[in-house]
Structure 1
Amino acid sequence: MKQTILKIHPGDNVWVALQDIPAGAGVHCDGVTVTAIRKVEAKHKIAAQELPKDSPVIMYGVLVGLANDTIPAGELITTQNIRHASGSFAVKGERHNQWTVPDISPWENRHFDGYHRTDGRVGTGNYWVIIPLVFCENRNVQLLHEILVKELGYRKQHSYETMLQQLLQDFRSGKDSSNIADSSNGEGIVLQGRTFANIDGIKLLTHTMGCGGTKQDARTLCGLLAGYITHPNVAGATVLSLGCQNAQIDMLKEEIEKRVPGFDRTVVFLEQQQLGSEKALMTQAIHQTFDGLTKANTQQRQPAPLSKLCIGMECGGSDGFSGISANPAVGRVADMLVALGGSVILSEFPELCGVEQELSDRCINTDLAGRYLQLMRDYASRAEAVGSGFDSNPSAGNIRDGLITDAIKSAGAAKKGGSSPVTDVIDYPGWVQHPGLALLCTPGSDVESTTAEVGAGANVVLFTTGLGTPTGNPVTPVIKLSTNSKLAAKMQDIIDLDTGTIISGDASIDDVAANILELVIATASGQYSTKAQQLGQDDFIPWKRGVSL
């Protein structure tokens, strides 16, 4: 018989429904039986005991809310009967760096095939990026990208184009088109072979920044763009500048030098106001980019240890199962990779609300702990200054699927970071410089956060979702993990691996983590193309350092 209810932590006073519980049904856990007062849908929470008014609601062993009124045992937990609350936190002298190192013996001598860079990092891909230094150049970079993709064999004819062609043909001939449907997988077909076999793609990083904001906005943008230009997955770059904007070429070069002193990959810098006409700009851009591509194409994949992996941990469209299936599974992968000498990034600071004390205690020294807590306080203060707060983080979809307060969402989201010590705390748009687990300050918005993680050096991203999101990235593969099997079956075109087998009891967290790590290795070696890559889901949104939850 499948388990109906789950008590996540011994100290919890609410339970998670693993299946729909009808009104009047009795549920049992740890020798305690309560009767469901109303229907409790799977993913939602039920009070395990009477909760008096203003009493703490405990889940994952931490404070996640307060009761608005007395909640009887067996009552459904809702936005009406509890409110957001989280525990206090402070830097403590005692460090909690002890952790249980997982068994990594099956992977100790494994490798992936990647692109070795002279700075010592290894790419899981080999992309050329085309970047506007200011939004005024978006049209020019789009034109350059369109020409290169088409003529160098990266252009795909989408199956939907074929559908439209048939609709046009039937329209012109007067036929009924109501029954035309696309029977393909939506991926499309490449129209011709690639000219450069070792260049995985030519990617476009358009944005709406570079001028019109503060000088700090310009510096931050240049830092992020430098993170992409120096990224181990990037073979080279073409940067188009207008000339009069705040984000200057020299500023970008400074940020590149900070990250990789003596950076030696090809970067084409062109300024329109200096060259004059669009024709002059585009002619130089095409010639110099083509020359750079021919050089970058000489690189080939070579074996690399798993310690060269840097994995970003991300979630989006989370549900009430995220914190007990996909997130703990990728957290186990995080611990395995740290034990192997690799790097892990945990971001989305608004979704770490309520677990600040645990994470600060895991920092390897009090300086890092203080830096993390100060970033959290500053972020929360900026949100409160505009009449919001971390309590506004859960989306309508989160709430509908059981994440009632930000602290409930956060306690589950933090599971993606595993249990290893925190070796670094990075402010945006910083970058990973040490092995181990790093905390990166980003918004909870999944595309802004994924964009930042890749800018910080993630060469693979593990993305958990309970509701379904197509998010991808231009240069780093994003592996999508469903928290429940229903989603995996419904949205097969965006989900790479189902962790819902943990909920059903058909697989353990360790089993699923092993499968995820194997998929990471295959993806990093170019043997597996993620669903986001197949769909061409190249999402890139810089965070303009303001309040984004």
Structure 2
Amino acid sequence: MATISEQNASSISPVIRLHRSDDVVIARSQLVGGTVLQEEGVTVSGLVPPGHKIAVRAIGQGQPVRRYGQIIGFASRPIAPGEHVHTHNLAMGEFQRDYAFCADAKPTRVADGNATFDGIVRPDGRVATRNYIGILTSVNCSATVARAIADRFRRDIHPEALGAYPNIDGVVALTHGVGCAVDAEGEALEILQRTLGGYVVHPNFAAVLVIGLGCETNQIARLVEKQHLEALVSTGRLSTYNIQETGGTVKSIERGVELVQGLLAKANDARREPVPASHLVVGLQCGGSDGYSGISANPALGAAVDLLVAHGGTAILSETPEIYGAEHLLTRRALNAQVAEKLVARIRWWEDYCARNHASLDNNPSAGNKAGGLTTILEKSLGAVAKGGTTNLVDVYEYAQPVHAKGFVFMDTPGYDPISATGQVAGGANLICFTTGRGSAYGCAPTPSLKIATNEALWQRQQDDMDLNCGPILAGTKTIEEVGAELFQLMLQVASGQRSRSEIHGYGQNEFVPWQIGAIT
């Protein structure tokens, strides 16, 4: 799949061509009817918003339409050269994808030099990028107690509570809306327990409290047993209790406050030290995507991922419904046939899941995506996979499974960003990189999240929420590789303790959203 850096784009050109075989080009800014696209030999007919597509040749009804050199849909009516191409004349359609298992697999480049960041080395050797105390809940019924405990340690409300503990990033309550009225032996509870277990052992938590009501399906004792957390209990890194056994809300809050106070001194002993970049596990996200996402921010993140992998680190691509139609680009990069087959199996699971629920995998893009220029899920997916760079796909994981492989991997998650990132963090991600074209307000405690703007207009409008601007790629003043290198350095800086914009604003506690799957009875 070609990128803008391959076409030697100039800021003078009003459009961007991504591949020589494309049927469309992309407007750099709003174009009006009568604008002549000299390099394409066509004249624009009608108003075309920024980030949207213009046909550069006549396309007959039913014919495929290509962007990135790949099919993004089929003409639903005849399209003339210079015409705006969008939902009114472009639709989904079935076509065969060439999975070509492992055809593009290649040796992984090893970087020259040793990139490092200042991390916190835990006793088991894993490396943290933050140092939190976490309060988790087994069920929605204990959420109020958990939040009340965390509020006692909020620096903006009670600055004295953590005043003597500067090495602690905070005390956070991560609550959720499930935990009961589900099959005690079913997949829904298994996923919830796997997610909670992944957070309990996450290196960014110095210690964790898990609070329950007492009568819920998701019994804490069973959670500890199923997720093999007994050793954490015996060492004091994990404490658990139930509201019913403790004597109600007030007593449960006071007990939690007392337990947290007893953890502060030890948690504050954490110190940062230089560690190799191979200890970074980065979750890749895109939300509020637009027509520029697959041109600027996503490829720039992909370039940073290639650098990370070259330094021995790990990157997790996710959001299975948002690689649908582009999965063949990943199977071609699979390290072996088994990895490719695992990815295809997850695609087939989603096709069956949607059919059982009378839904469709092509109900994407969202209204905001369409306003930004994306028309079909095929087009959106082709841009989304660019976040994964160009290295081999070395493994595929189910939701919230622990990620142990080094290199570029895939985790099966829904496309909804909070659910997807929650699964990545449960799998061990200690940094999130989140690209956006329409604008996003998102954070992800206990893991810092970097927000990456696809275009200059977004950067100017919502700069207070953004950490990096990829607009210079569209303007032709910087290459994808240059911005990717800047992003890689920013990843190291934030992993070393530099706060991201979402951290400064206090995002993170409300964005813990485990995947709810299965019947609630």
Q: Same fold (TM over 0.5)?
A: yes
Quote the residue 1:196 is aligned against: 165
Q: Structure 2 residue aligned with 1:6, among 1, 16, 29?
A: 16
Quote the residue 2:346 is aligned against: 375
- Of the structure 1 ranges 507-516 and 291-300, higher mean CA displacement relative to structure 2 is found in 291-300
Whether the 8 Å CA contact 2:153–2:161 is kept in 1: the answer is: no
Whether the 8 Å CA contact 2:179–2:189 is kept in 1: the answer is: yes
Q: Structure 2 residue aligned with 1:541, among 508, 513, 517?
A: 513
Whether the 8 Å CA contact 1:353–1:406 is kept in 2: the answer is: yes
1:420, distance to aligned residue in structure 2 (A)? 0.6
Quote the residue 2:6 is aligned against: none
CA distance in 1, matches of 2:30, 2:109: 36
CA distance in 1, matches of 2:261, 2:322: 43
1:275, distance to aligned residue in structure 2 (A)? 3.2
Whether the 8 Å CA contact 2:55–2:80 is kept in 1: the answer is: yes
CA distance in 2, matches of 1:531, 1:309: 20
CA distance in 2, matches of 1:193, 1:261: 24
Residues 130-145 of structure 1 mapped to structure 2, 5 A cutoff: 130-145=135-150
Residues 365-514 of structure 1 mapped to structure 2, 5 A cutoff: 365-514=336-485
CA distance in 2, matches of 1:427, 1:2: 46
Whether the 8 Å CA contact 2:451–2:465 is kept in 1: the answer is: yes
Counterpart AA for 2:61: K
- SS in structure 2 at match of 1:392: coil
Residues 298-337 of structure 1 mapped to structure 2, 5 A cutoff: 298-337=269-308
Counting matched residue pairs gives 505
Whether the 8 Å CA contact 2:108–2:392 is kept in 1: the answer is: no
Quote the residue 1:47 is aligned against: 55
How high is the TM-score relative to the length of structure 1?
A: 0.87
Residues 248-267 of structure 1 mapped to structure 2, 5 A cutoff: 248-257=219-228, 266-267=237-238
Quote the residue 1:213 is aligned against: 182
Whether the 8 Å CA contact 1:424–1:434 is kept in 2: the answer is: yes
1:121, distance to aligned residue in structure 2 (A)? 1.8
Whether the 8 Å CA contact 2:455–2:471 is kept in 1: the answer is: yes
Quote the residue 2:124 is aligned against: 119
- SS in structure 2 at match of 1:240: strand
1:517, distance to aligned residue in structure 2 (A)? 1.2
CA distance in 2, matches of 1:86, 1:195: 62
1:512, distance to aligned residue in structure 2 (A)? 0.7
Whether the 8 Å CA contact 2:55–2:83 is kept in 1: the answer is: yes
- Of the structure 1 ranges 434-443 and 262-271, higher mean CA displacement relative to structure 2 is found in 262-271
CA distance in 1, matches of 2:314, 2:234: 22
Q: 1:514 to 1:307 in 2, by over 3 A?
A: same
Q: Deviations over 1:332-375 (max 9, x none)?
A: 01111011100000001111011111211211111111111111
Quote the residue 1:37 is aligned against: 45
Whether the 8 Å CA contact 1:86–1:354 is kept in 2: the answer is: no
Q: Structure 1 residue aligned with 2:30, among 20, 32, 43?
A: 20
1:506, distance to aligned residue in structure 2 (A)? 1.2
Whether the 8 Å CA contact 2:102–2:334 is kept in 1: the answer is: no
Q: 1:81 to 1:91 in 2, by over 3 A?
A: closer
Quote the residue 2:83 is aligned against: 75
1:219, distance to aligned residue in structure 2 (A)? 2.0
Quote the residue 2:5 is aligned against: none
Whether the 8 Å CA contact 2:233–2:239 is kept in 1: the answer is: no
Residues 32-181 of structure 1 mapped to structure 2, 5 A cutoff: 32-85=40-93, 87-89=95-97, 92=100, 94-98=102-106, 101=109, 104-105=111-112, 108-149=113-154, 154-156=155-157
CA distance in 2, matches of 1:115, 1:508: 33
Q: Deviations over 1:156-179 (max 9, x none)?
A: 59xxxxxxxxxxxxxxxxxxxxxx
How high is the TM-score relative to the length of structure 2?
A: 0.92
CA distance in 2, matches of 1:437, 1:263: 35
- SS in structure 2 at match of 1:380: helix
- Of the structure 1 ranges 66-75 and 282-291, higher mean CA displacement relative to structure 2 is found in 282-291
CA distance in 1, matches of 2:334, 2:160: 51
Whether the 8 Å CA contact 2:153–2:170 is kept in 1: the answer is: no
1:454, distance to aligned residue in structure 2 (A)? 1.3
- SS in structure 1 at match of 2:85: coil
1:458, distance to aligned residue in structure 2 (A)? 1.1
Quote the residue 1:171 is aligned against: none
CA distance in 2, matches of 1:399, 1:304: 42
CA distance in 1, matches of 2:270, 2:444: 22
Quote the residue 2:502 is aligned against: 532
CA distance in 1, matches of 2:363, 2:370: 11
1:49, distance to aligned residue in structure 2 (A)? 0.9
Q: 1:546 to 1:500 in 2, by over 3 A?
A: farther
Counterpart AA for 1:510: E
Percent of residue pairs identical: 34
CA distance in 2, matches of 1:99, 1:9: 26
Gapped runs of 5+ residues in structure 1? 158-189
RMSD: 2.2
- Of the structure 1 ranges 16-25 and 55-64, higher mean CA displacement relative to structure 2 is found in 16-25
Whether the 8 Å CA contact 1:331–1:418 is kept in 2: the answer is: yes
CA distance in 2, matches of 1:115, 1:265: 19
- SS in structure 2 at match of 1:391: coil
- Of the structure 1 ranges 425-434 and 279-288, higher mean CA displacement relative to structure 2 is found in 279-288
- SS in structure 1 at match of 2:274: strand
Whether the 8 Å CA contact 1:222–1:251 is kept in 2: the answer is: no
- Of the structure 1 ranges 56-65 and 277-286, higher mean CA displacement relative to structure 2 is found in 277-286
Counterpart AA for 1:533: E
CA distance in 1, matches of 2:101, 2:425: 33
Whether the 8 Å CA contact 1:318–1:467 is kept in 2: the answer is: yes
Gapped runs of 5+ residues in structure 2? 1-10
CA distance in 1, matches of 2:176, 2:379: 33
Whether the 8 Å CA contact 2:195–2:426 is kept in 1: the answer is: yes
CA distance in 2, matches of 1:445, 1:414: 16
CA distance in 2, matches of 1:94, 1:326: 26
1:192, distance to aligned residue in structure 2 (A)? 7.5
Q: 1:263 to 1:434 in 2, by over 3 A?
A: farther
1:386, distance to aligned residue in structure 2 (A)? 2.8
1:476, distance to aligned residue in structure 2 (A)? 0.8
